[in-house]
């Protein structure tokens, strides 16, 4: 499959061609950086994050039974922050990442800080409205020195 980038922030994530939704390819030198860049991609799909200040901070947490479910919940909880408080983030920092083996299987947790400001349509460009992350085409790949995530955001 030939991937054609149609936007993004080079080195952090790209938006790939998709018929009807936002298809993201995010990168990171670590799984932590991958989750940070994936979160930023969510907000960049909705607005130009370079125009968003950092006057508001919120803690965001997620849990999952594997990396894909964790990424899904992470993106979902960041999106809930936007819809609940209209906070558009221009910085996403992961402060804690845990992977534990339990009797019932593995458990993954992520915690981070989202910095941004309340969305103002007079100041911030409105791009697309994201309804939710999806498991469609979602995969997380680990290479020797990098991580890559592919996921679709439903618009």
Question: Is 5-154 a CATH 3.40.47.40 domain?
Answer: no
Gap between the Cα atoms of 114 and 99, Å rounded:
21
What are the distances in angstroms from CA 114 to CA 56, 90, 104, 125, 140? 8, 8, 31, 19, 22
Q: What is the pTM of this model?
A: 0.93
What is the per-residue pLDDT across 9-19, written as a single tens digit (0 to 9) for each?
778 999 999 88
**105 vs 44, higher pLDDT:** 44
Q: What is the arithmetic mean of pLDDT over 37-59?
A: 97
CB contact set of 45 (below 8 Å; sequence gap of 6+): 15, 22, 24, 127, 128, 130, 153
Domains of the chain, residue spans: 5-154
The pLDDT of residue 4 is 56
Judge contact between 57 and 137, C-beta under 8 A. no
> Is the pLDDT reported for residue 59 higher than 80?
yes
**Strands laid side by side in the 132-142 sheet:** 5-9, 13-16, 22-28, 147-154, 132-142
In the predicted structure, residue 2 carries a pLDDT above the cut 80: no
What is the model's pLDDT at position 102?
79
What pLDDT score was predicted for residue 26? 98
Share of the chain above pLDDT 90, in %: 86
Please name which of 43, 148, 142, 48 lies closest in space to residue 87, comparing C-alpha atoms: 43
Q: What are phi and psi of 125, to 5 degrees?
A: -65, 130
Quick one: pLDDT at residue 64? 96
């Amino acid at each position: 499959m030939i991937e054609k980038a149609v936007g993004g922030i080079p080195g952090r994530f790209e938006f790939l061609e998709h018929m009807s939704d936002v298809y993201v390819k995010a990168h990171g030198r670590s799984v932590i950086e991958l989750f940070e860049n994936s979160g930023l991609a969510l907000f960049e799909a909705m607005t130009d994050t370079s125009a968003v200040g950092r006057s508001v901070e919120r803690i965001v947490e997620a849990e999952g039974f594997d990396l894909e479910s964790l990424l899904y919940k992470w993106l979902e909880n960041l999106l809930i922050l936007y819809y609940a408080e209209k906070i558009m983030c221009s910085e996403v920092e992961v402060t804690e990442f845990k992977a534990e083996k339990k009797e019932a299987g593995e458990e993954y947790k992520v915690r981070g800080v989202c910095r941004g400001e309340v969305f103002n349509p007079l100041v911030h460009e409105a791009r697309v409205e994201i309804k939710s992350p999806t498991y469609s085409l979602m995969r997380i790949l680990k290479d020797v020195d990098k991580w890559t995530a592919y996921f679709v955001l439903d618009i």
